[in-house]
Structure 1
Amino acid sequence: MTFYRTTRLMLSSAAILSFASSAFALDGVDLLKKINAAYAIQGVSLASDGIDVDGSTVTLKGASFKPISAAGPGTQLGNVTMTGVDEEAGGYKVDKVAFPDLSATKEGVTVNATDMSISGLTIPADATASGLDGMLLYQKAHAGPIHIVKDGLEVFSLEGIDANLTERGDKSGFDFDSSIKAIKADLSKVDDPASQDTINKLALQHVNGNVTMKGSWALQPGTIDIKDFAIDLDNIGRLDLAFGISGYTLDFMKSLQDTMKASQANPNKAEAQQATGLAMLGLMQQLTLNSAEITFKDASITKRALDYAGASQGVSGVQMANTLKGLTPIMLAQLNIPELQAAVSAAVSSYLDDPKSFTVTAAPAKPVPFPMIVGAAMGAPNTIPSVIGLKVSANN
């Protein structure tokens, strides 16, 4: 009797646990549906041939990305594995999304990408919810190494791409940064003879460097603040970009996406282009320029460029520099902006005499609407410096 009672108890417990497990099993179809609802604002969808659920792991079998407005198979991804999936308030949290390695060949060019993943993914319950609650967000993303091979020779590679996103505690926006590490480009095998000659004379056969970016996005005013976007190339130089604009809200993004969808759906390309142009002009009304700065720090490319340009004119690099210094004020005189002419001429002369850095800054006293900048450029170009607070300097 004891044996049978124990057996019945075990079977009953197993049945209860089985029922509970099935009742709380993840809904892979719902997960994919909510991913696509969040992706819709970007104009793409994620498709899958099948969905496997095993505990907290969801596998999208034969997954592919494709533009919503386009026909065809889209970009094939293979099996995408999501681990540590947990349903939360109608949405989902995913510890890690792992993508299969990519290898694609077309017209003799093969692209190989490995170790692609996203960590800390948040899938919203309602993609129409306001602010960050309706956005598909991640904490970290990684890809690489990546290699590109042409006709058996590696022409490009990078060690890795990393991106980080940190949501602000009050959900007013997020901070982000990204990097592309150890870029290597082999230009020594470029087919075009004229291009190869230029590459050789500028000593650009092998280009190595890194790219970094750091910024933030405040949702309500739609302020994007790129603190630094740097392209740093060995033996060439470093280009630093920084800018701030306001008005880039979620509503602006949706309007921009709707404009692009309408353009793609219109079979009359000329008509579509005209309509898109008018729509973009309308959208620009919402944007304002807060600040901008561009700085180039030379790492020997300027001298090589002057020598190359001078040789084509039968003069030395120093003579070419002197010619450019003389032409600069003459060309700027046509703008009828004496103050800017003097500043640019002085900066160009200083830089060409001793190439270190060259900086262009826009620092308006208060944010300037983009339509005002466009209007000034079209109607009164000589007012641009005062409208945007334009300044030019060298070797600071």
Structure 2
Amino acid sequence: MTLYRSTRILLASAALTAFTGPAFALDGQDLLKKINAAFATGGTTITADAIEVSGSDVLLKGVKFGVDGQPAEKPLALEQLTLEGVSEEEGGAYFIERVEFPEVNVTEEKSSFKVQDLYLAGVYVPGDANAEGIDSLMFYEEAHSGPVEVTVDGKPVFSMAEAVGTMGLSDDESTITFEGSVTGVKADLSTVEDPQAKAQIEALGLTTLDGNMNMSGSWEVESGTIDIEDYSIDFANVGKLSLAFSMSGYTLDLVKQMQEQARMMQAQPQNEQAQQAAGLAMLGLVQQLSLVDAQIRFEDAGITKRGLDYAGKSQGTDGAQMAQMVKGMLPILLAQAKLGAIQNEISAAVNTYIDDPKALTIAAAPANPVAFPMIMGAAMGAPETIPGLIGLKVTAND
């Protein structure tokens, strides 16, 4: 199985053209059944009042998306869902060239929510969701959303220009790559009614927000190494927060076990004992993971100075004095945290950043992957060992 299977699609199309006939008609019921099987571990169920097949297209009418264990929740309903260019592949799998979603336009009381140009492209539906390896997973080559608009009392409070996500598969089918971006994110916080919150928002210059989000990474399925190269949120006049990390042990088997535990928790939301048991089981599964490396970085675009000015004003002083107070208090707080020798490094980095806010970076780069149970044990019993255990470094303006 390959995600980008153009050659195989062409061959399949040629074969279907050569042998077209009633015996080779698409089975819409089987397609929906296998889509549900792929979604089952996530607790999502899709139903349709009617399924119509026309050539290589499948039309689902009266579609409802429900969540297992949430009978009181009203399912998401769509008038219809169009699956274009559907072809059956070996092993009973399906490939869908494009899934077209209708425009979403919902109005409730004083609020409205509108989404346009929703679609999935290059969707692979596994023939057996319980198969071994990558062949058991559902993929898409592209997920797309056009403009999103949210209004309250007729006034726009949130909007987004576009969101795009893509997935790919390496030639040897060992690694899944993924990228995503959200552009033109705008939020209007001037409508906040609470006087205190409104004053804070205005003082921090957050009345309007304008930014973007990006993500990229890869997952080596067999080894279980997942690498998030970049997960960033960037807002104008605020700053850019970036996260990157890599961990091992995130195997397909672990993913399915975690999904199963999540499904069990959803199925018995009122059963406290079941929730606790599933929570402990989930914690046990997480212990199979190991940290390879991680980094958190913030690049300032003005929010730090405004934050210090606001904090200083609330204490009856100014931003410059508040900066000195923070620098004076930090060593005391770090001493209470018992982080050992790295306390001086952190203090120096924070002092440099406060004096000239540009960037602050926290990075972990252990010599070898460190199991999460070791990190959790150190945090509870010997926090001063954590910096050395995970290779912690804190730098500023680099």
Q: Name the TM-score class by shorter chain.
A: over 0.9
Matches within 5 A, 1:72-151: 73-89=74-90, 90-151=92-153
Offset at 1:269? Answer: 4.2
Offset at 1:333? Answer: 1.6
Decide which moves more: 60-69 or 349-358: 60-69
Supply the distance in 2 between the matched residues of 1:296 and 1:310 (Cα, whole angstroms).
22
Q: How many residues are treated as equivalent by the alignment? A: 379
Supply the distance in 2 between the matched residues of 1:84 and 1:278 (Cα, whole angstroms).
44
Offset at 1:171? Answer: 1.2
Matches within 5 A, 1:234-383: 234-266=236-268, 268-383=270-385
SS of equivalent residue, structure 1 residue 366: coil
TM-score, reference length from structure 2: 0.92
Supply the distance in 2 between the matched residues of 1:222 and 1:108 (Cα, whole angstroms).
47
Supply the distance in 2 between the matched residues of 1:272 and 1:194 (Cα, whole angstroms).
41
The equivalent of 1:32 in structure 2 is 32
Matches within 5 A, 1:193-208: 193-208=195-210
| Contact 1:131/1:171, CA 8 A, preserved across alignment | no
| Contact 2:42/2:260, CA 8 A, preserved across alignment | no
Residue 161 of structure 2: which of 141, 159, 162 is its match? 159
Offset at 1:283? Answer: 0.8
Paired letter, 1:312: S
Supply the distance in 2 between the matched residues of 1:66 and 1:242 (Cα, whole angstroms).
33
Supply the distance in 2 between the matched residues of 1:20 and 1:185 (Cα, whole angstroms).
52
Q: Which has the higher contact order (CA 8 A, sep 6+)?
A: 2
The equivalent of 2:67 in structure 1 is 67
| Contact 2:269/2:275, CA 8 A, preserved across alignment | no
Supply the distance in 1 between the matched residues of 2:162 and 2:134 (Cα, whole angstroms).
28
Supply the distance in 2 between the matched residues of 1:88 and 1:234 (Cα, whole angstroms).
47
Structure 2: stretches of 5+ with no match in the other structure? 1-16
Quickly say closer, same or farther: Cα 1:325–1:267, change in 2 above 3 A: closer
Supply the distance in 2 between the matched residues of 1:384 and 1:136 (Cα, whole angstroms).
39
Supply the distance in 2 between the matched residues of 1:160 and 1:62 (Cα, whole angstroms).
27
Offset at 1:251? Answer: 1.4
Quickly say closer, same or farther: Cα 1:20–1:267, change in 2 above 3 A: closer
Residue 180 of structure 1: which of 179, 182, 186 is its match? 182
| Contact 1:376/1:384, CA 8 A, preserved across alignment | yes
Over the matched positions of the two proteins, sequence identity in percent amounts to 49
Offset at 1:135? Answer: 1.0
Paired letter, 2:29: V
Offset at 1:69? Answer: 3.0
The equivalent of 1:388 in structure 2 is 390
The equivalent of 1:42 in structure 2 is 42
| Contact 1:132/1:173, CA 8 A, preserved across alignment | no
Offset at 1:78? Answer: 2.5
Supply the distance in 1 between the matched residues of 2:192 and 2:132 (Cα, whole angstroms).
50
| Contact 1:115/1:144, CA 8 A, preserved across alignment | yes
| Contact 1:131/1:172, CA 8 A, preserved across alignment | no
Bigger Rg, which one: 1
Structure 1: stretches of 5+ with no match in the other structure? 1-16
Offset at 1:167? Answer: 1.0
Deviations 1:13-44 (A, max 9, x none): xxxx9x95322111100111111111112221
Offset at 1:335? Answer: 3.5
| Contact 1:53/1:59, CA 8 A, preserved across alignment | yes
